Amino acid sequence: MLKIFTVVGARPQIIKSAAITRRIAETFSHSIVETLIHTGQHYDAAMSDQFFTELGVPPPAKNLAVGSGSHGAQTAKMLTALEELFLAERPDCVLIYGDTNSTVAAALAAAKIDIPVAHVEAGMRSFDKRMPEETNRVLSDHASTFLFCPTDIAVANLVREGFPIHSERATINMPFVANIGDVMFDNALRYTAEDQKIRMIQEVEIGEKPFALVTLHRAANTVDVKMVSDLFETLAKLSEHSGLEFFFPVHPRTLSMLNKSKEELNITFENSGLTFLKPMGYRDIIWAARNAKVVITDSGGLQKEAAFFNTPSVVVRPETEWVELVEAGLVLLSGRELPEMRAALDCQIKFQGYLPQGIYGNGNAAGAICELLLTHLG
Supply the residues annotated as catalytic. 217
CB of 47 to ligand UD1, least distance (A): 4
DSSP for 164-198, please give it.
Answer: ----SPP-SSS-EEEE---HHHHHHHHH-PPP-SS
**How far, in Å, are 120, 140, 183 from residue 58 at the CA level?**
20, 26, 18
CA–CA distance, 27 with 235 (Å, rounded to integer) = 46
Q: C-beta of 114: minimal distance to ligand UD1 in Å?
A: 25
Shortest distance, position 142 Cβ to ligand UD1, whole Å: 18
Q: Containing H/E element for 214?
A: strand 211-215
Q: Which residues of 301-335 are buried (b: 16+ CB within 10 A; e: fewer)?
A: bbbbbbbbbebbbbbbbeebbbbbbbebebbbbbe
Q: How far is CA 269 from the centre of its chain?
A: 28
Question: For residue 165, what are the CA distances in angstroms to 156, 179, 193, 204, 267?
Answer: 10, 11, 38, 50, 55
Q: Name the minimum Å distance from CB 208 to ligand UD1.
A: 31
Report helix, strand or coil for 313.
strand
- With respect to ligand UD1, which residue has the nearer C-beta, 41 or 50? 41
Q: What angle do CA 251, 322, 170 make, to 5 degrees?
A: 105
- Looking at the Cβ atoms of 65 and 159, the one nearer to ligand UD1 is 65
Identify which of residues 38 and 42 has a Cβ nearer to ligand UD1 in the complex: 42
Query: Beta 199-201 vs 204-206: how paired, if at all?
Result: antiparallel
Q: How far apart are CB 252 and ligand UD1 at their closest, in Å?
A: 3
* Closest C-alpha to 99, from 141, 60, 64: 141
Q: What angle do CA 220, 257, 251 make, to 5 degrees?
A: 75
Return residues touching ligand UD1 (CB under 6 A).
Answer: 10-12, 41-44, 47, 68, 99-101, 132-133, 217, 252-253
Min CB(44)–ligand UD1 separation in Å: 4
Nearer to ligand UD1, 24 or 285 (CB): 285
Complex with ligand UD1: residue 118 or 302, whichever CB lies closer: 302
- Cβ proximity to ligand UD1: between 27 and 135 the closer is 135
Q: How far is the CB of 195 from ligand UD1 (least distance, A)?
A: 26
- The smaller minimum CB distance to ligand UD1, of residues 41 and 239, is found at 41
Distance, in Å, from the CA atom of 353 to the CA atom of 350, rounded to the nearest integer, reads 10
d(CA 125, CA 144): 16
